[in-house]
Chains A and B, each alone.
Chain A
Amino acid sequence: MRNLHLLVVSVGGALGVVGLLTWSASAQVPAGSTPADDKINPPVSNCNTIPDTDRKTPATATPITEDLLTSGQPCQQNVSPTGLVTSGPGPGMANLQRGFDFYSWLTFIAMNSPADGKVIGHGPRPGGDARTKWEDLQNYRPLADVMLSNGDRPIWGTRNVPDLCKPHDGPGKMIFQLGEEAFNQPFKTGPLIDQDGNYALFDILMNQPMFDFIVDKGLYSRQGQRQVDGDIQFPSGNSPGKDKDGKDIQGHMGAIMLKVSYRILDPVKNANLLSQFHTSDALIYFPGPPATKTGPACVEKKLGLVGFHVGHKTKFAPQWVWTSFEHVSNAPDAADVASGNLLPRYNFFSAACKTNCPVKNDTPPQPPPWDPDESLKFKGEYRSQVIREKLIPGFVLKEVADLNTPFRALLKGTVWENYMLLATQWPSDNGSHTDPLGAPAPTYLANTTLETYSQGKIPLASSSCMACHGNATTHHVPATPSDFTFILEKAQEAKKAQ
């Protein structure tokens, strides 16, 4: 039996700290990318590398000014354990968290900027709204365009319009294909019903490096996944810099996946709300059984963005970096409910309900199936009564609130001032072998529209981006990890030889 004398810092832990310490330095760039990498993950000339502070001692916060609105999208985080926080328990973690949260705001601004290249908030619609970069099919593709129903090879740039939607189609219309993941929350925990009795809807999208990797490896069909040996490793984003020999390294964006949530807005009844939401005119397609209980059908709805959740694989974050935004009027915090400090209106909470209210954060009382019909109205009087539970450490809550204030002020007068960062989850020990989840920080993070029913602090059961996505697998036999994405599980059997 081994004689243990002293347990000291593990190799993984030490590497994790070293990785963190070097994140802000030139050592953050990877070794030279190969031509094959560049085909799937092409060089990016305009990575946003702005850090949250000037990196001096003492540090000064980067001014949150209009320059940031056109500064581009970060290809990776630019963070440091030294910064504004110099005392108290865990200043290193607090500074890193702020760096990641700053990265998240830059990402939010870049992805939600108009697809036509204008500045965010300067679009033609109420509140300066416009079709965003992620809604442009040249930049992102919805899951339904990638995991095709017959396991076919998807083609980038092809807009798939179901026949039933063609009569309603027009410029700027978004095709939204309904399936269970579009109305049911993760692990089939139930639908979210807004205060008008409509289903909240969810969609998943990915950028071109992620799409091209899936196509290149044949991961768009179950047969293709079964033929892949070894680990699935989606391409990583990195900022430009120098390698250890001083050679220039180009930036790459890496794989990005996006999950968005919407509430339905009635153009008449909710006319006063339209300037408060980013909206999309959607053609919602019900493919019919087995994907939907009813259909085939195509209905037109105006959707208001209520949740925005980004996963970005980057160097030194092989567990991906997880950004989560929400509309500010989705639900009150538990503390707000306790103090009575409530807004007049919420999307998923009734402040007026005093007696016989639905149980907070509970699924509808009716047993499943919960599939909507073409009205997208929930049958009965049930409305979700959602409260945002306190899952995040107090110092993170304060830091995020302090960061949200100037960024929202920067976007004042536009629809985008109504969105707030919840937090960013990042791997605090990215190289650990014993904890391949990378010791997520913060440990728990939940978006009230996307993880409504798993808010809490119970290991494995409560919402944690990395802990949840770390369980995702492929259709390989036996199943293999799918590199933190559930997208591959949506692949179908190919109907013909691949």
Chain B
Amino acid sequence: MTDLTRRKMLGVAAAGAVTSLSTSVEAAAPGAPATPPAPNPLPNENDLRLFVALSSVLTGIAVLKMAPTVDPIQVRFDYFNAASADPGFPALLQIIRNDPNPESAANKVMNDPKLKYLGRSIILAWYLGVWYDPKTLERYNGPGDQAFPVPPVKVISPTAYTQGWTWRVAQAHPMGYSELRYGYWHNEPLPLDEYIKIVS
């Protein structure tokens, strides 16, 4: 059974994110953020809250960072909409609706032989801003060469392109976009603690 502790999940997600980093952007670039996604109807507020709580357990990123009290960016809507397009999403939603404990709900998702790929897609979405089709992840979930070439991916939205947590973990920024002040490249990156606060 999968041991879904925050430590283990973050390790898995971070490793996945880092190994994907060099390829995902390249793979995404040709069709990258050309136009914003068509507006979707606002998700049910409670479902969105449960989705963020689940995402927090899966990624190790605090809920308040994913959905700050004052949040003009609101990338969680993009990720929710991306995930909700998957056929497995109603089942995932049912699990998190029925289980008030996000850690326990996340364990159920990640131990479900089908839903665990959707869970992985959600992790990758938060870290990379890219949507990997769970079916593709399942197909590529083999040892050795089966993991290559890089599976097709889609940048979820222009906002998602800039908001991947990988960039913050790496103290970096996506190609072509940085909020830092002019001349930042002349200086050492800001300390990791400025991007994320680490609790051991």
Contacts and interface: CB of A to CB of B under 8 A. Distances in A.
B70 A10 contact: no
B70 A441 contact: yes
Nearest to B69: A92
B56 to A, nearest CB: 9
Contact of A480 (B6, B36, B183): B183
B51 to A, nearest CB: 13
A434 B194 contact: yes
Chain A interface bracket (under 10, 10 to 19, 20 to 34, 35 or more): 35 or more
Contacts of A16: 70
Contacts of B169: 4
Contacts of B6: 5-6
B197 A443 contact: no
A100 to B, nearest CB: 12
Interface string A1-29: 01111111111110011001000000000
Contacts of B73: 439, 443
Interface residues of B, number: 46
A442 B183 contact: no
A90 B183 contact: no
Contacts of A429: 68, 70
Contacts of A11: 193-194, 197
A471 interface: yes
Given A459-B177, A467-B179, A439 B198 contact: no
B175 to A, nearest CB: 11
Interface string B16-46: 0000000000000000010010000000010
A443 B183 CA distance: 23
B154 interface: no
A262 B20 CA distance: 51
B64 A8 contact: yes
Nearest to A470: B181
Interface in A414-463: 428-429, 433-437, 439-443, 456-460
Nearest to A459: B162
A8 B195 CA distance: 10
22 contacts: A2-B192, A3-B200, A7-B61, A10-B197, A12-B194, A81-B70, A90-B70, A90-B71, A92-B70, A93-B71, A96-B70, A429-B70, A433-B194, A434-B179, A434-B180, A434-B195, A436-B179, A439-B72, A441-B72, A457-B158, A458-B33, A470-B181
